[in-house]
Amino acid sequence: AQRVTQPEKLLSVFKGAPVELKCNYSYSGSPELFWYVQYSRQRLQLLLRHISRESIKGFTADLNKGETSFHLKKPFAQEEDSAMYYCALRDSGGSNYKLTFGKGTLLTVNP
């Protein structure tokens, strides 16, 4: 069974500090990994996906298959980054397009 683990429920950093939100997964097949974000009073939305290898709002994430990790990083956190972040996994060989989400990490960026 596939599983996504986000070990930190809460993460608090100061503005301008680096931030890393951890995500580990267990899956025997070939996974696709995503980060979704939910800002206060807003909908859950896609932040980035590993296959596009893009940087969104200064965030990057690299899929490390050896360590089965997909950590989200930003070198200089901003107050507007405060939100709930979810890591999610999809079976790239599957046909049902289901996502398995982690339990989420609430990031607070203090001024």
Partner 1 sequence: DAGITQSPRYKITETGRQVTLMCHQTWSHSYMFWYRQDLGHGLRLIYYSAAADITDKGEVPDGYVVSRSKTENFPLTLESATRSQTSVYFCASSEPPYEEQFFGPGTRLTVL
Which positions touch partner 1 (CB under 8 A)? Answer: 6, 9, 32, 34, 43-46, 49, 86, 90, 96-104
Minimum CB distance to partner 1, residue 95 (Å): 8
Nearest residue (CB) to partner 1, 81 versus 104? 104
Query: Residues 40, 107: contact at Cβ < 8 Å?
Result: no
Reduced to 3 states (helix: H, G, I; strand: E, B; else coil), residue 50 is helix
The span from the CA of 106 to the CA of 96, in Å, is: 29
Please list, in sequence order, all residues whose beta carbon lies within 8 angstroms of the beta carbon of residue 44, skipping any fewer than 6 positions away.
36, 37, 38, 86
Nearest residue (CB) to partner 1, 78 versus 92? 92
Minimum CB distance to partner 1, residue 81 (Å): 19
Minimum CB distance to partner 1, residue 69 (Å): 18
